[in-house]
Structure 1
Amino acid sequence: MRRDELYLVDMIEAAAAATTFVRDVDETAFAASDLIQSAVLQKLLVIGEAAGRVSPEIRARWPGVPGRSVTDFRNIAVHTYFEVDWSIVWRIATTALRELQEQLTMLLKAEFPLVASQLDQPH
């Protein structure tokens, strides 16, 4: 089984990528682009899957970090893909992901400082 810090890094990197995908587009352009929609949704699915695998111990120590809601979104998106509300995906990508990324980075720095320090390093 993977370690918690790896799931946290997956979530941070996916949030950063999804935020980058929508950086220079407005909601109309997002709604018109299957490519951007698909890319953002895929990153949200990664976040949801990883969130569901973080240990109960970490979730208990960090109750303010979204877990269940992210996992629930992932399950809904996977099982009802053709009914995805793209306006919700847009709002998540343009507002919620920045905050999530900040929360997860704070968590990673507190729980796994060595891993957090490596996250800022170029690959």
Structure 2
Amino acid sequence: MIRKIEILGEAAARVSPELRSEHPQIPWRDIIGMRNRLTHAYFDIDLGIVLSTVQAFLPSLFEDLVAIQRRTRRE
């Protein structure tokens, strides 16, 4: 689970500023920040926070990202 969040954050960091500004509903900075925290705070990670974040935000985030991907592929 943590590795997948790290990958998501790495991918978010590579999204162009233009695309980010077109989709302000996506918490780009938070996604990247969580990736950085998980990657560099080895022994200071609260797994409860990680789990609650995944449960609360990942399903809708996934839907939003899939919709963005579909739109950008059509353009």
Flag whether TM exceeds 0.5 (same fold): yes
5+ residue gaps, structure 2, are none
Aligned to 1:107: 68
Aligned to 1:36: none
Aligned to 1:48: 9
Give SS of 1:75's match: helix
CA distance in 2, matches of 1:112, 1:57: 16
5+ residue gaps, structure 1, are 1-39, 115-123
CA distance in 2, matches of 1:59, 1:76: 21
Aligned to 2:59: 98
Equivalent residue in structure 1 for 2:38, among 77, 82, 85: 77
Quote the RMSD (CA, aligned, Å).
1.4
Tell me how many residue pairs correspond in the alignment. Answer: 75
Q: Which has the larger radius of gyration?
A: 1
Residue identity over aligned pairs, in percent, reads 35
Amino acid at match of 2:4: K
Residues 44-97 of structure 1 deviation map (CA, whole Å, 9 limit, x = unaligned): 000011101101111011111121000001111111121101011111222211
Amino acid at match of 2:22: R
Amino acid at match of 1:68: R
In the TM superposition, structure 1's runs of 4+ consecutive aligned residues that sit over 2 Å from their partners are none
**Aligned-pair distance for 1:113?**
3.2
